Structure 1
């Protein structure tokens, strides 16, 4: 039996209790949201846990002493970003009182608009389901609206310091509901497509959520994009057992020519895309919508759903 440090009728020593809580090995998360002005806010937290699968719920505890506490309790949405083993610097930044914590990270938005860090172990985009007062913390319960994960090692925390987690990926484990990140990349009046190696053409895909300037592609090649001209365009599933798809629209930056492109890529005139060589109905539909919207210069964001999906229209060209 563990040594007793206080009887039930004795006052609890806060420091010793904190040390005891700290023996529970946790991961590290960065919890993010937007304030009333639309500015991103975030903080490091390790008081996080899953709650329910049906409905999909999780919780995170927000200290009442945190400067962003009022923002999180009123925003109605938040994202939980679980950090991987190479992100101790991000953990430290978001645990600090730095004025602009987002200066050193890239992020995107998914379903609710809460910031999702571009390079993290896993992320959960949530609407606030409920909240409860709990002493010096507020418990936020979020309903998961979108999520993604990667097969890398998590950043661990125990006894007040970072720890390594060995063998984090069991044999045969697959990424559940991972996301394929595709790009509609314009170069003048042409669109960049990638050969699928089977006689078909698909969109270039990236290794992770979008970066500001240099897009690292699957296959260890890279392209330079104009960062302020990169926007989310479509979110959809192909099949229940396949990963979801995120599609961004973007534009090539700097000097480029056919000879500078990766060997498996080709530029097609936007009005002459090879629809008969595009392998999936979903991608053909995305590209047909893109061609129509480009002609009218009125772009939308498509979100898949069980009743056929929704398109939110955004008027204007690719510009900030």
Structure 2
């Protein structure tokens, strides 16, 4: 390789430059948003990086030649979905000009309303913090409002093709137990609980956050939930070696489904909740808080911490409230 003489200006070969830049191993992301009519839009991108932890910022570069570029220029929010090593098909789909990229890809909303892929390595739900014009791309800087990750291996990309990344998880990176996703399903002042097989009652759960508002039921069937009325309500651990909980508040889309519930499921009026038969102290405390907040019409989110936990108003950007003890 011959280097130019000091001070000598040389023309840059764009093909050679692209190949040189392509030797940097990256992950693969799908960047998503919604257009002015609320339709989901998305594209594959690998120019992604973290920017700041305080405030929590990231960036992704959007090519001006992309079909969805005008949408990203106008949108006030977006999500970055990092793909795992089993999602080369998803990467190829969102890199294509398919008119309906979301028809066979599970997605949901979490905080901003941007589509979040329900099966991916890691996702970040962001509002637009800034846009920077940069040649044939726009640098989209996002402020992170919510995120989630999994123990899957990442999908890599290098020299214009997908790459396998050996990714043994280091000790302590993730808990050995997955988080339990529970649902507070409210119907006319009653909450849905499920028998635990030991004489007690627990929240209905799902392997991961449900897609398209469909909660699978034990023994078959599903309940339809209102996607626009579902939000994260509580996050906590129950013990050092037990799985933690992500609890979402939801409402039924079809109240008539109450008459067709499996025997193991039952709706309890707020004033008849079987607290003595709910084995988890944290779940009992959370249910009491939910009943109290439902009566007042103001909801908070609880986050566990070493000093007893904190709560904040849903949708309120103010700092966490004072610690509470459950």
Q: So what's the TM-score if we normalise by structure 2? A: 0.76
Deviation string, structure 1 residues 261-300 (Cα, Å, up to 9, x no partner): xxxx44143352223444322233225556x59xxxxx98
Shift of 1:201: 3.2
Among 236, 240, 251, the residue aligned to 2:234: 236
Deviation string, structure 1 residues 224-280 (Cα, Å, up to 9, x no partner): 2236678414433347x9665433334686995545xxxxx4414335222344432
3-state SS, counterpart of residue 102 of structure 1: coil
- Mapped to 2, the partners of 1:233 and 1:108 lie a distance apart of 11
Q: Partner residue of 1:317?
A: none
- Mapped to 1, the partners of 2:53 and 2:245 lie a distance apart of 19
Deviation string, structure 1 residues 26-73 (Cα, Å, up to 9, x no partner): 111110111111111111110000111111110000001112112112
3-state SS, counterpart of residue 251 of structure 2: strand
Q: Partner residue of 1:269?
A: 268
Correspondences of 1:11-50 after superposition (within 5 Å): 11-50=11-50
Question: 1:138/1:257 Cα in 2 relative to 1: closer, same or farther (>3 Å)?
Answer: closer
Correspondences of 1:107-118 after superposition (within 5 Å): 107-118=107-118
- Mapped to 1, the partners of 2:57 and 2:227 lie a distance apart of 34
- Mapped to 1, the partners of 2:312 and 2:228 lie a distance apart of 26
Correspondences of 1:142-291 after superposition (within 5 Å): 142-174=142-174, 180-185=180-185, 191-194=191-194, 201-212=201-212, 215=215, 223-226=221-224, 231-238=229-236, 244-250=246-252, 256=260, 258-259=262-263, 265-271=264-270, 272-278=272-278, 279-280=281-282, 281-287=285-291, 289=293
Deviation string, structure 1 residues 157-177 (Cα, Å, up to 9, x no partner): 1111112111342233216xx
Shift of 1:15: 0.9
> Conserved in 2, the CA contact under 8 Å of 1:105 and 1:117?
yes
- Mapped to 1, the partners of 2:131 and 2:171 lie a distance apart of 38
- Mapped to 2, the partners of 1:129 and 1:214 lie a distance apart of 33
- Mapped to 1, the partners of 2:247 and 2:102 lie a distance apart of 26
- Mapped to 2, the partners of 1:216 and 1:154 lie a distance apart of 28
- Mapped to 1, the partners of 2:181 and 2:265 lie a distance apart of 18
Question: 1:248/1:121 Cα in 2 relative to 1: closer, same or farther (>3 Å)?
Answer: farther
The answer on 1:90 being equivalent to 2:90 is yes
User: Unaligned 5+ residue runs, structure 2?
Assistant: 304-309, 317-326
3-state SS, counterpart of residue 18 of structure 1: helix
- Mapped to 2, the partners of 1:99 and 1:42 lie a distance apart of 11
- Mapped to 1, the partners of 2:214 and 2:130 lie a distance apart of 39
RMSD: 3.6
Q: Partner residue of 1:310?
A: 314
Question: 1:250/1:182 Cα in 2 relative to 1: closer, same or farther (>3 Å)?
Answer: farther
User: Unaligned 5+ residue runs, structure 1?
Assistant: 260-264, 294-298, 313-320
Shift of 1:199: 7.0
> Conserved in 2, the CA contact under 8 Å of 1:35 and 1:75?
yes
Q: So what's the TM-score if we normalise by structure 1? A: 0.77
